[in-house]
């Protein structure tokens, strides 16, 4: 069972901080075999290090320069040359590695709704699109473009029990 250490943060069985997603979503993801998988994140951070620790090749962009520098420093120290760091997601929503299809794409940063079409375009069939803070009132309550783009795709919704703001991590499977 996944238990928070503080403020919703969690550690995996190896003491590595897990992504800041809902605990029910983490319960599912903790069982995934990520070794050799290609991961792209819109919004980087401790999740990037967790995916790397699970053997995934991880790429990402973020809109916060200071946070990007902190995250990239940790990744460079781990010899992960393939990690892409950018500052403005609005200008780089299409920054996904040319011609690369990903097993997992995460949207957990700014301009979430704008990133979805690029995420789906570069996601392998059977791949997972993770939408954190899905329809969360204080984060991004609408997602009109995303709703249209994922219509008809399998979606699993994982709500954080007792959360005051209806925190949900959605996992969409591309078919």
Would residue 143 be called left, alpha or beta, if left means φ above 0 and alpha means ψ between -120 and 50 degrees? left
C-alpha 175, offset from chain centre: 19
What is the percentage of the chain residues whose pLDDT exceeds 70? 77
On whether residue 3 sits in a domain, the answer given is: no
* Domain contains 65: yes
Residue 141 falls inside a structural domain: yes
Is residue 2 domain-resident?
no
- The pLDDT confidence band at residue 9, using thresholds 50, 70 and 90, is confident
Identify whether 133 is part of a domain: yes
Question: How many domains does the chain divide into?
Answer: 1
**Region 125-147: what's the mean pLDDT?**
95
Give the residue, 122 or 125, on which the prediction is more confident.
Answer: 125
User: Quick check: is 1 in a domain?
Assistant: no
* Confidence class for position 12, pLDDT limits 50, 70, 90: confident
CATH number at residue 94: 3.40.50.150
SS3 string of the chain?
CCCEEECCEEECCCCCECCCCCHHHHHHHCCCCCCCCEEEEECCCHHHHHHHHCCCEEEEECCCHHHHHHHHHHHHHCCCCCCCCCCCHHHHCCCCCCCCCEEEEEECCCCHHHHHHHHHHCEEEEEEEEEECCCCCCCCCCCHHHHHHCCCCCEEEEECCCCCCCCEEEEEECC
Q: Is residue 4 a part of any domain in this protein?
A: no
- The mean predicted confidence, pLDDT, of the chain is 83
Decide if pLDDT at 13 tops 70.
yes
Domain around 127: 9-173
Range with the poorest average pLDDT among 9-18, 101-110, 131-140: 9-18
Question: Is residue 97 assigned to a domain?
Answer: yes
Per residue in 52-98, pLDDT tens? 889 998 888 777 777 777 766 655 545 444 445 555 554 455 555 56
The string of pLDDT tens digits covering residues 150-171 is: 999 999 999 999 999 999 999 9
């Amino acid at each position: 069972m996944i238990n928070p250490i503080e403020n919703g943060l969690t550690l995996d069985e190896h003491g590595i901080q897990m992504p800041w997603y809902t605990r029910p979503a983490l319960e599912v993801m903790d069982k995934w075999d990520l070794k050799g998988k290609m991961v792209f994140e819109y919004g980087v951070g401790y999740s990037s290090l967790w995916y790397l620790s699970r053997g995934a090749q991880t790429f990402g962009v973020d809109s916060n320069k200071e946070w990007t520098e902190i995250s990239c420093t940790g990744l460079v120290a781990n010899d992960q040359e393939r990690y892409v760091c950018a500052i403005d997601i609005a200008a780089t929503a299409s920054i996904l590695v040319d011609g690369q299809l990903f097993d997992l794409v995460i949207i957990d940063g700014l301009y979430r709704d704008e990133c979805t079409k690029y995420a789906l375009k570069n996601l392998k069939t059977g791949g997972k699109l993770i939408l954190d803070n899905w329809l969360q009132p204080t984060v991004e309550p609408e997602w009109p473009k995303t709703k249209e783009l994922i219509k008809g795709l399998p979606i699993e919704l994982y709500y954080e029990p007792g959360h005051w703001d209806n925190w949900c991590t959605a996992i969409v499977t591309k078919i």
